[in-house]
Structure 1
Amino acid sequence: MHENTLSRRDVMKFGVLASAALALPLERVARAKTASDRIAVSKFPKPFTVPFTVPPEAVPTKRSSTTDYYTVSMRSAVTEILPGMRTETWSYDGTFGGPTIRATRGRPAVVRQINELPSVQPRLGYESWTSVHLHGSGSLPEYDGYASDITRPGQYKDYRYPNFQDARTLWYHDHGAHHTAENAYMGLAAMYTMHDELEQSLPIPKGRYDVPLLIRDAMFDRDGQLLYDDEGHSGLFGDVILVNGRPWPVMKVERRKYRFRILNCAIARGFRFALSTGDPFVFIGTDAGLMPQPRSATSYRHGMAERYEVIIDFAKYRIGQRVVLKNLSVPNVEDFDTTGDVMAFDVADDPTDLSGNAIPDLLNPNAPAMDLTAAMAKKTRTFEFIRKNGIWTVNGKTWADVIASDYEYVWADPGLGDVEIWEFVNKSGGWFHPVHVHLVDFKVLDRNGRAPSPWELGGKDTVYVGENETVRVAVKFGPHTGRYMIHCHNLVHEDHDMMAQFRVGPPSTEHHPVYADPAKTGSAPELGGDDDTLA
């Protein structure tokens, strides 16, 4: 292992990864087809004719008395997304939009990610490296999916997840430097749910009434292949809305309450969701898990990477009634005639099970991030997200500055356990930025001096910073020291190069995000062996 790490270090410092290919946003070797080559709308399925499906659940390769072990293959797969067409996708274990990993608080997991992708992306011509980020996890730096900690085709990496946090909806997705947008767009995004005793004790919907919704857009060429074109480096907006990889699906529901874990896994499209009936969503969870108490709203904006858990009560509707999840849109996205509908719920039966059919007045009154106040802050820092000379920057600097410094340059250096106020500033009227801070949960304090929206009254790790908005959040840093990323989750902005890093605690070589535990080549040892311990 030591020799492999040193070899990796040499490559990072002197070789390919430190070259201009990683130091600056990439010029694509082969452009995708243009938007004029999109498949005709007449070839789309009629909305609400494709059956809704739930992603499969991952099965551990091995379970010890303390730890769950998974082996996941990142590989090309052929998927029927548009009916009757075969689309090449990239996948975790051959599943477009899955599989879901289900974790229990206090029981760590080791996930071996094997890169079995083609050595070169067949349509865009770049090397198919990856880095897997478990979004919402307080992982050590070397297992956080640091952008430059890449796994090349033919390599593998064992990611170690402590699973110490409150029950929550997480997701895992690609984070490889300068290819995150393309890799995630091709299908490298899936859900990871954490469960704990508090969640299980509440009378909220569970089991088959606890439903993941991974919502995104896509566009396809005339042959039914995913079409990628971000010539302006601003974003990519598709004319097909997918839910769990299915176009405008229809779900049969019973006349009772359902809990939906809604993830916006688009690379650039924000949504404003609403029900066709005008009835409210009841919000019970945010990025960091259960809110202190439920909140309601008839529509809400949902940025990329944000997760909201909502309850919809279908008991008020008659059998045979259809309720449509609508997209009312947000500014500065490209809308089409086809992007106003998301999916439909067809009320088909009376309830067959009424357990877990309530919404308690209190959910998680001790949610840690929600105890933070502005008065606790030792310091206030400002992060301005701005396009400068055609490059997406944070305070005028980019990920290229991190690479040029051999991963030493930081935008902030809070101490372990410190509370700070971070201000995210977007002075532009031309785009919005969902800002994600790795490692931590935070509390939204205000937006342009006004109270946060009802759906934001829970712990967050990603916040929608709209046009001409300044959002202030309170953050407590920990439980780990080391270097972590902060970036815009418009993945095209991130790739071109709106990503920074902060360091918790003093400078240290321990738990280095690139050098501490790099990807490996060759025969992999058995997971769960005697030397396989969690840090």
Structure 2
Amino acid sequence: MAVSRRDVFKLGGLAAAGAAGLALPWGAGVSASSASLLPTSKMPKVFAAPFTRLGVLTPTVGTDADGPFDEYHIKAVPGLAGIVPGLQTPVLGYDGLVPAKRIDVQQGRRIKMTMYNNLPPAHPTFGTPMGISTHLHGSASLPQYDGYASDVTAPGQKKTYQYPNFQNARTLWYHDHGVHYTAQNAYSGLASQYHLHDPQEQALLPQGEFDVAVTLSDMMFAANGSQMYDDRSHSGLWGDVILANGTPWPVMKVKKRVYRFRFLNASISRSYRPTTSPAAPMYMVATDGGLMPKSQQVTSWRHGSAERYEVLIDFRNFKAGQRIELRNLSNPNNRDYDFTGKIMAFDVVDDPFDKNDPTSSTIPGTLNPGNEVMNLVDTGRFKVRNIRVQRDDTTNEWNLNGESWHDVVDSGYKKVLADPNLGDTEVWEIQNNSGGWFHPVHIHLIDFKILSRNGRAPFNYELGPKDVVYVGEGETVKVIMKFGPHKGKYMVHCHNLPHEDHDMMHQFSVGLKESDLDDNDPIWADPPTPI
């Protein structure tokens, strides 16, 4: 069932009068002082808490007929997070943690991850159903292990996912993808990073202490410290508290050297435009699908939900004791509040480090010129698909080319948006004429190259392999992709999660005819089992 704003207030123990705090008009660049109903004394303070690094999960080692693999057992359970001073916020966490621990793996090392749904039947705060589906975003997984939205693991069930990790190094993330309630589940904490390493990336970019994962999210809070959820008739949710790795506006101590930051936007709707003040030299070195052909110097970048950008920030020329703020310039059609223009801060310290490490003082120019995706060229001979991201003003639902996930389900999961053969290359033109919304469009299975925006060159920071593309207001974005390495059905959807849930999600099939027996059926090939 859908949860109304009134139901959220009841569940949060709030008076109906509190609703006035959310009654803001829609429009580009909308601002207000706050959305949370916290008393001033409880509102998290900007730059008051230390930055916390993501923990790393330790696997056990297993062996099967294909050789060794890393094995993880993770439980999705309710937890408590100390985000608001003096209060506990009920959350959903992998192993009860928000933020959850990340996974690190070397290229070629397989992983088997068993996800246990130990959640109650209904969300403790919002009352929504608690079926889950775990998607490793950025992985070329088989369909039955891809977190297909309708492949739902119910409370009391478990599912073992298999990840091949044959792709080049990249920042991935695993998050919930349960049909119709992805937004509530991810907002409540079911998300974390997953780092795939390879020798090329390890030789070029900072590692260990100087390879820093930063997961960005935003929340709004009820007076008792619980989360508030208002997606404004499925338009999106924009919180007034910005979190980096689960901490509001944290401060990180940095040494006088080059750092690598893996920025993931895990906000369910908000986009960011990060910049530094005072300006620090910044270089984009990797996008969703890994290393760019060449590094690109940037002063800011537009960062939509689910996109990952890896940035080198050079602190060498700052003095010890100096503070550099990571600010948010925002983008049209976000909802901004008093402090959403700030993200986190860096305080420079004069602590020692290994100056013989070449990555401490080097900004590599050439990174991965041989990337197959980035070497795709539109010859004019490839099939062109036109994809329209739209809103139906009658049903108040979102769709792709006039069709929604409801249509896919009603067809018995046969209806597809595209049906390329295995190994085909296609060009997709994604058009946004939906009015006052931007759409981060995610295509599962493959990486793609952005060819153009409204006929012009892509932004320099997105000149790398992508799996999410920010399609701004009035934009037509052209992308090129090669389909493989697996046959089967995969999803394409908007990653503004209230849009995805209502109901801006479709599927495409690779190498399948309608009459074919699908050995990798995403729902039935390897279904969940009882715990």
TM-score (norm 2): 0.91
Counterpart for residue 70 of structure 1: 72
Shift of 1:276: 0.8
Shift of 1:29: 10
Structure 1, residues 115-160: CA drift from partner, whole Å, max 9, x if none?
0011111222222000000000000000000000000001000000
Amino acid of the structure 2 residue aligned with 1:513 = P
Structure 1, residues 435-476: CA drift from partner, whole Å, max 9, x if none?
000000000000000100011000000010000000000010
Alignment of 1:197-236 (within 5 A): 197-202=199-204, 204-236=205-237
Q: Which shows bigger deviation, 478-487 or 81-90? A: 81-90
Counterpart for residue 300 of structure 2: 299
For the 8 Å contact 1:237–1:269, the answer to whether it is kept is yes
Say which of 388, 391, 394 aligns to 1:387.
Answer: 391
Structure 1, residues 281-307: CA drift from partner, whole Å, max 9, x if none?
200000000111100111111000000
Counterpart for residue 93 of structure 1: 95
Say which of 491, 514, 521 aligns to 2:530.
Answer: 521
Shift of 1:42: 4.2
Amino acid of the structure 2 residue aligned with 1:268 = S
For the 8 Å contact 2:445–2:490, the answer to whether it is kept is yes
Give the direction of change, closer, same or farther, for the CA distance of 1:280–1:427 in structure 2 (3 Å limit).
farther
Structure 1, residues 271-327: CA drift from partner, whole Å, max 9, x if none?
011001133420000000011110011111100000000000111100000000000
- CA distance in structure 1 between the partners assigned to 2:165 and 2:173 by the alignment: 13
Say which of 138, 141, 144 aligns to 1:142.
Answer: 144
Question: Do structure 1's residue 359 and structure 2's residue 358 form an aligned pair?
Answer: no
Counterpart for residue 484 of structure 1: 490
For the 8 Å contact 1:72–1:113, the answer to whether it is kept is yes
- CA distance in structure 2 between the partners assigned to 1:492 and 1:304 by the alignment: 12
Structure 1, residues 346-397: CA drift from partner, whole Å, max 9, x if none?
0012442231222222111111210111117520001100101211010001
Structure 1, residues 144-192: CA drift from partner, whole Å, max 9, x if none?
0000000000100000001010000000000000000000000001000
Question: Do structure 1's residue 263 and structure 2's residue 269 form an aligned pair?
Answer: no
Give the direction of change, closer, same or farther, for the CA distance of 1:377–1:226 in structure 2 (3 Å limit).
farther
Counterpart for residue 32 of structure 2: none
For the 8 Å contact 2:3–2:127, the answer to whether it is kept is no
SS in 1 for 2:416: coil
- CA distance in structure 2 between the partners assigned to 1:134 and 1:476 by the alignment: 20
Say which of 119, 123, 126 aligns to 1:124.
Answer: 126
Counterpart for residue 38 of structure 1: 37
Structure 1, residues 398-451: CA drift from partner, whole Å, max 9, x if none?
000111111111010011100000011001330000000000000000000010
Shift of 1:49: 1.2
Shift of 1:84: 1.9
Shift of 1:44: 2.0
SS in 2 for 1:443: strand
SS in 1 for 2:200: helix
For the 8 Å contact 1:185–1:266, the answer to whether it is kept is yes
Q: Percent identity of the aligned residues?
A: 51
Amino acid of the structure 2 residue aligned with 1:287 = D
For the 8 Å contact 2:144–2:525, the answer to whether it is kept is yes
SS in 2 for 1:368: coil
Show structure 2 runs of 5+ residues with no match: 10-18, 22-35
Amino acid of the structure 2 residue aligned with 1:208 = E
Amino acid of the structure 2 residue aligned with 1:75 = V
Say which of 440, 443, 450 aligns to 1:444.
Answer: 450
Alignment of 1:43-192 (within 5 A): 43-64=42-63, 66-192=68-194
Q: Which shows bigger deviation, 429-438 or 359-368? A: 359-368
For the 8 Å contact 2:5–2:229, the answer to whether it is kept is no
Q: Which shows bigger deviation, 159-168 or 31-40? A: 31-40
Alignment of 1:322-333 (within 5 A): 322-333=323-334
SS in 1 for 2:526: coil
Question: Do structure 1's residue 254 and structure 2's residue 263 form an aligned pair?
Answer: no
Question: Do structure 1's residue 369 and structure 2's residue 373 form an aligned pair?
Answer: yes
SS in 2 for 1:142: helix
- CA distance in structure 2 between the partners assigned to 1:81 and 1:260 by the alignment: 23
How many aligned positions are there? 497
Q: Which shows bigger deviation, 58-67 or 153-162? A: 58-67
- CA distance in structure 2 between the partners assigned to 1:260 and 1:35 by the alignment: 39
Amino acid of the structure 2 residue aligned with 1:158 = T
For the 8 Å contact 1:129–1:150, the answer to whether it is kept is yes
Question: Do structure 1's residue 475 and structure 2's residue 481 form an aligned pair?
Answer: yes
Shift of 1:61: 3.1
Amino acid of the structure 1 residue aligned with 2:404 = T
SS in 2 for 1:374: coil
- CA distance in structure 2 between the partners assigned to 1:332 and 1:223 by the alignment: 29
Amino acid of the structure 2 residue aligned with 1:72 = I
Give the direction of change, closer, same or farther, for the CA distance of 1:194–1:285 in structure 2 (3 Å limit).
same
- CA distance in structure 2 between the partners assigned to 1:450 and 1:278 by the alignment: 28
Amino acid of the structure 2 residue aligned with 1:394 = L
Amino acid of the structure 1 residue aligned with 2:508 = F
- CA distance in structure 2 between the partners assigned to 1:54 and 1:231 by the alignment: 33
SS in 2 for 1:517: coil
SS in 1 for 2:498: helix
- CA distance in structure 1 between the partners assigned to 2:322 and 2:495 by the alignment: 37
Amino acid of the structure 2 residue aligned with 1:236 = L
Counterpart for residue 5 of structure 1: none
Shift of 1:103: 1.1
- CA distance in structure 2 between the partners assigned to 1:41 and 1:393 by the alignment: 40
Say which of 450, 453, 463 aligns to 1:457.
Answer: 463
- CA distance in structure 2 between the partners assigned to 1:40 and 1:491 by the alignment: 29
Amino acid of the structure 1 residue aligned with 2:90 = E
Question: Do structure 1's residue 378 and structure 2's residue 394 form an aligned pair?
Answer: no
Alignment of 1:283-432 (within 5 A): 283-354=284-355, 355=357, 356-357=359-360, 358-375=362-379, 377-388=381-392, 389=394, 390-432=396-438
Shift of 1:93: 1.2
Shift of 1:75: 0.5
Shift of 1:40: 3.3
SS in 1 for 2:183: helix
Q: Which shows bigger deviation, 192-201 or 116-125? A: 116-125
Structure 1, residues 477-530: CA drift from partner, whole Å, max 9, x if none?
0000110000000000000000010000123321001111111114xxxxxxxx
- CA distance in structure 2 between the partners assigned to 1:71 and 1:120 by the alignment: 23
For the 8 Å contact 1:280–1:299, the answer to whether it is kept is no
Amino acid of the structure 1 residue aligned with 2:153 = T
Q: Which shows bigger deviation, 238-247 or 54-63? A: 54-63
SS in 2 for 1:349: coil
SS in 2 for 1:160: strand
For the 8 Å contact 2:61–2:68, the answer to whether it is kept is no
- CA distance in structure 2 between the partners assigned to 1:451 and 1:29 by the alignment: 42
Shift of 1:41: 4.3
